[in-house]
A and B are shown apart, each in its own frame.
Chain A
Amino acid sequence: MTEPLLSVRGLVKTYPVKGGALQRIVGTVKAVDGVDLDVYPGEAVGLVGESGCGKSTLGRAILRLEEPDAGSVWYDGTDILTLGAKELKGYRRAAQVVFQDPFSSLDPRTTVGDSISEGLRVHGIGAKERARRVADVLELVGLEPYHAKRYPHEFSGGQRQRIGIARALAVEPRFIVLDEPVSALDVSIQSQILNLLKRLQNDLGLTLLFIAHDLSVVEHLCDRIAVMYLGKIVEVSSRDILFDRPTHPYTEALLSAIPIPDPTVTRERILLEGDLPSPLHPPSGCTFHTRCPIAVTGVCDTFSPELRSVPGEPDHLASCHLRTGEYTHLDRATV
Chain B
Amino acid sequence: MTQATANGGPVLEIRGLKTHFFTRDGVVKAVDGVDLTVEAGEIVGLVGESGCGKSVTSMSVLRLVQDPGRIVDGSIRFQGTDLLGLSDKEIRNIRGDRISMIFQQPISSLNPVYTAGFQIAEVYRVHRNMKKGPARDKALEVLREVGIPDPERRIDAYPHELSGGMAQRIMIAMALAAGPELLIADEPTTALDVTIQAQIIDLMRDVREDLGTAIILITHDLGIVAEIADRVAVMYAGEIVEEADVETLFTDPKHPYTRGLIGSIPVAGARREWLDVIPGRVPNLIDLPPGCRFAPRCRARLENDLTICTEREPALLDVGENHTARCWLYSEGRR
Contacts and interface: CB of A to CB of B under 8 A. Distances in A.
Q: Do chains A and B touch in the complex (CB under 8 A)?
A: yes
Interface of A: 50-51, 156, 158, 186-192, 194-195, 198, 213-217, 219-220, 243, 253-264, 269, 271-276, 291
Contacts of B2: none
Contacts of B202: 269, 271
B195 A259 contact: no
Interface string B184-224: 00000000011111110110000000000000000011111
B50 A192 contact: no
B265 interface: yes
Interface string B225-262: 11100000000000000000011001100000000111
10 contacts: A186-B282, A187-B221, A188-B264, A192-B279, A194-B275, A219-B268, A220-B266, A259-B226, A260-B267, A261-B222
Contacts of A273: 199
Nearest to A244: B269
Contact of B268 (A194, A260, A263, A274): A260
B275 A191 contact: yes
Contacts of B86: none
Contacts of B222: 187, 261
B331 interface: no
Given A216-B266, A220-B266, A259-B221, A264 B194 contact: no
Contacts of B196: 50, 275
Given A191-B264, A269-B198, A261 B163 contact: no
Given A50-B194, A188-B261, A260-B226, A243 B268 contact: yes
Contacts of B267: 216, 260-262
Contacts of B44: none
A154 B139 CA distance: 49
Nearest first, the 3 closest Cβ-Cβ pairs linking A and B are A259-B223, A191-B264, A216-B268
Interface of B: 49-50, 149, 163, 165-166, 193-199, 201-202, 220-227, 246-247, 250-251, 260-269, 271-272, 274-279, 281-282
Contacts of A243: 268-269
A214 B225 CA distance: 17
Given A214-B194, A219-B271, 11 more contacts: A50-B193, A186-B50, A213-B194, A220-B272, A255-B268, A259-B227, A260-B226, A260-B268, A262-B267, A264-B250, A264-B251
Contact of B166 (A190, A217, A275): A275
A263 B247 contact: yes
Nearest to A51: B193
A320 to B, nearest CB: 17
Contact of B223 (A194, A220, A261, A264): A261
The residue among A215, A261, A274 with the most chain B CB atoms within 10 A of its own CB is A261
A254 B163 CA distance: 19
A190 B275 CA distance: 10
B264 A262 contact: no
A291 B276 CA distance: 37
Contact of B277 (A188, A220, A256, A264): A188
Nearest to B251: A264
A263 B246 contact: yes
The residue among B225, B247, B266 with the most chain A CB atoms within 10 A of its own CB is B266
Contacts of B279: 192
Contacts of A272: 195, 198-199
Nearest to B220: A187
A127 B281 CA distance: 33
A258 B223 contact: yes
Given A260-B269, A262-B250, A271 B198 contact: yes
A220 B275 contact: yes
Given A158-B281, A195-B277, A219-B266, A257 B195 contact: yes
A326 B222 CA distance: 42
A264 B247 contact: yes
Contacts of A195: 274-275, 277
Nearest to B257: A188
A255 B269 CA distance: 9
Given A158-B281, A188-B49, A220-B275, A253 B195 contact: yes
A217 to B, nearest CB: 5
Given A188-B49, A220-B266, A261 B226 contact: yes
B220 A263 contact: no
The residue among B268, B274, B281 with the most chain A CB atoms within 10 A of its own CB is B268
A275 B269 contact: no
A186 B221 CA distance: 10
A213 B193 contact: yes
Nearest to B197: A257
Given A216-B267, A262-B226, A276 B277 contact: no
The residue among B226, B260, B276, B282 with the most chain A CB atoms within 10 A of its own CB is B226
A22 B14 CA distance: 56
A216 B222 CA distance: 13
B281 A189 contact: yes
A20 to B, nearest CB: 16
Contacts of B198: 256-257, 259, 269, 271-272
B266 A188 contact: no
Contact of B250 (A192, A215, A263): A263
A219 B178 CA distance: 43
